[in-house]
Amino acid sequence: QGQLVESGGGTVQAGGSLNLTCGESGLVYNGVCMAWFRQVPGKDREGVASIYIGKRGYTYYDPSVQGRFTITHDNDKKTTYLEMHNVKPQDTAIYLCATNPSRASCDVPLPYLFRTWGQGTQVTVSS
């Protein structure tokens, strides 16, 4: 099943950078999708980025963050990272990491496909 714990959120000025981490336990890294989502009150949770850990590694980025965010994973540290650069006020949200043992769920990460979630970390971008 696994357990996820996010950290690294905070307040940053527009144009700045922030690095989020997702600490993992109880996961088997032989075919698993790790994803970052974000949620704003009153709006649907949206997939930001995903990375498939297994044969033929794969990454996905929402067009709104393409070129600004980078998702990576470290098996030894059991951590998934989200590097956020050139952040914008519209990036303000609670960021959550999630996992699912399915390659297909990484193609375009949709919330209902993911079984295990962290508690989230708040990111606030000031203009």
Amino acid at residue number 33 = C
- Over its length of 127 residues, how does the chain's per-residue pLDDT go in tens digits? 689 999 999 999 999 999 999 999 888 777 899 999 999 999 999 999 999 998 888 999 999 999 999 999 999 999 999 999 999 999 999 999 999 988 888 999 999 999 899 999 999 999 9
Residue 82 CB burial class (10 angstroms; 0-12, 13-18, ≥19): buried
SS3 111: helix
Residue that is written with structure tokens 């989502």 in the block: 37
Residue 46 CB burial class (10 angstroms; 0-12, 13-18, ≥19): middle
Residue that is written with structure tokens 């297909």 in the block: 104
**Is there a contact between 2 and 22 (Cβ–Cβ < 8 Å)?**
no
Tokens of 69: 């965010």
Q: What is the DSSP letter of 65?
A: T
Q: What is the DSSP letter of 30?
A: S
